[in-house]
Structures are given as structure tokens and as C-alpha cells.
Amino acid sequence: MKRQLRALAAAGLLVASSLVAVALGGSASADTQICEQYGSAVIQGRYVVQNNRWGTTAQQCINVTSNGFEITTLNGSSPTNGAPTAYPSVFFGCHYTNCSPGTNLPIQVSQISSATSSISYRYVSGATYNASYDIWLDPSPKRDGVNQMEIMIWLNRQGSIQPIGSVVGTTNLAGRTWEVWRGSNGSNNVISYVAPSAISSLNFSVLDFINDVRNRGAITNSWYLTSIQAGFEPWQGGAGLAVTSFSANVNGGGGPTNPPPTTPPPGNAACAVKYTANSWNNGFTADVQITNTGSSAINGWTLTYSLPSGQQVTNAWNATVSQSGSTVTARNAGHNGSVAPGGTASFGYQGTLSGSYSSPTSFSLNGATCSRN
């Protein structure tokens, strides 16, 4: 799905999406070569390897093996403050109507009992690229087009490139510590997990990353997992990069596993909110300050509360604020998602007013009730 609009990490520009992938048909034999821009082949009767040269007109060829692929020819080159040239990868699920054989994706997150994967890479020196594992989710069971949520796991980053958005904290998943980035490319939201040093192989729970994104308020259990993909985003050079093995298994269980906690994890359970408003005849503004009164950092926050009758949010700053009926949901911006113990995060908004003004009386942060300052 790297053919969709991609944010340019440093420049904030957009790259146009391209055409639908074309399957070559049948299973790949040893040393099958693909040079077609969106050519693909099936391996193990279960996964799809795709060339997916979406960011350049220069030639790129991959050698498809029984367990993965190798980039053999890569003539394109892109500036490091822009988008990569391509995303050659192997995937399980559905990518722009190209679905892997027998896949059970899309599947609703609430129906996943387990989702595991293993990946092995071979790296080269003297090139600028990332080794990326992508997990795609959408509110609907989409088999085509742009999904609304992209989870990127950066197992190796070489050169002066960076994920979309900005750093919002760190987390521990798959037995490792990851730097967490959050942002949007204008087409979909992106949460990236960046390894501090290169990882050549990983056997892990995909569901753990999905649950972490859900706990950050970016998705819900009603969303659908549509595909999981592993490959490379090259900017400059990269011939010889290879995925030497890939496997993925997603199992349904008829009900949610790891459901949203009734109380948030440590660090998200203690909070205080200061709500300062200024109103006039037919409008008001509000400044909201969240204080972390716990002992651990908050990494990603969602504040919910109810506005009194006659109040409607019209625009906001320093948070993404939405309103459904009287319920307001405010989610952190890219720059203020991490709140250290004793630290604060603030946002504000303007609204229309009908009748007399009064302020909301109770607030919940990541599901936990906050005190009032």
C-alpha cells in the first residue's frame, strides 16, 4: 500500500498514488525475476511478493525466491528529505485488490485471537533505506485503496531518513525498546516503531503492536486488519537487500483478545485537568491543560468529556478534537503526546454557544477519571 499518498518525512510533501498491482499469476519458481513496475508473484502458495516501484520511473528488479526476495537492480534515487523510490515487499492479506491465496484478511480486530509473524533480512552497506514491516488497518474491510491506519516497524534505518511525524515517546514490545513516532501523511495516519539499532530477524506478535496502537486511541476493536507486509524502502542504492524468510499467521477466535483495559496501564491512570473558558453571547473558547499526576510517562492520550447543551466545537489547536452529540474526544497532536510524570499537555478550541454558558464537570484520560484543577 505504499502506492498511496506518502508523507515526505522532512519536507511534509505528498507523492501521488499510482496504479493497481498486477499479479503475474501462479507460484514463483526459484530465481523468478520481476522488473514490471507493480509485478508480483505468489510464493509458498500463501504469500505475494511485489516489486511495487511506485516512486520512480527508473528500473528496479527483484529476484523472487521460495522464501522471499532480493533486490537485484535498483537504478532509482530520491533525496533523503523526500519519499523513497519503492516498497518491494512480501505480504499476507489484500493490497489494492491483490489478495494472497486463501487469506482470511480483512478480519476485524475484535475477532483476532492471535497474529504472529517472523521475518529475516539481509542488509547491505553504502545505501540509504529502511527495513520496514507494515501493518495496515481500516474501519471497513477494504481490499482496495488507501487504509486509514498504517503501523510501521522500522527494523533498520540507514542514512538521514526519518518516519512521518514526530517522536511521542518510547515503548517496550516484542522484548525490545522502540522509539515511537506519530503523524499523518494527509491520506492516512501513521504510527512508527523505530529500533535503536539494526535487527536482522524478529519473531513477534503482530497483535501486540495493534493493541498498542489501539491503546493510544488511534483505532478501535471494530477496525479491520487488511494486510501485513515486510520489505524495504530504498532512497539511494540498495541492490542486494533481501528478505530471506517471511511467515505470518492470523487466527480468529470469535471474540476480542487483550480487550481495552477497564483501567489504563500504569502512567495513564493518574491525571488532573484544568479547564479555562471565555464566553460571549454566541460563542466561547476553552483552554485545557492535562497534568500527569502519576509516576510513569503517558505515551499518547485521549481525553473525553461531555459539553453542556448548546455548545458545539468549531475549530481546535494542539489536538485533534471531534464532537458526537455532547461527547467531545480530544487526541494528542504529534508534538504533545508524551507527558512525563508531573508534566502537562495543553490544547484549546473555539465553539458556538446557544443559551447560558457552563463548563464540563468531569474528564477521562485514556479511560481513567481525572481530578479537576
- Residue with C-alpha cell 517496550? 172
- Decide if 150 is catalytic: yes
- Residue with C-alpha cell 522471499? 68
Cα-based angle 140, 146, 149 (whole degrees, multiple of 5): 70
Inter-residue contact 306 to 328 (CB < 8 Å): yes
Beta bridge partners of 307: none
- How far is the C-alpha of 336 from the C-alpha of 110, rounded, in Å? 29
- Decide if 179 is catalytic: no
- How far is the C-alpha of 145 from the C-alpha of 3, rounded, in Å? 9
What values do phi and psi take at 99, rounded to 5?
-105, 140
Distances (CA, A) of 213 to 48, 53, 61, 209, 299: 26, 28, 34, 6, 11
- How far is the C-alpha of 64 from the C-alpha of 96, rounded, in Å? 20
Question: What positions carry a catalytic annotation?
Answer: 150, 233
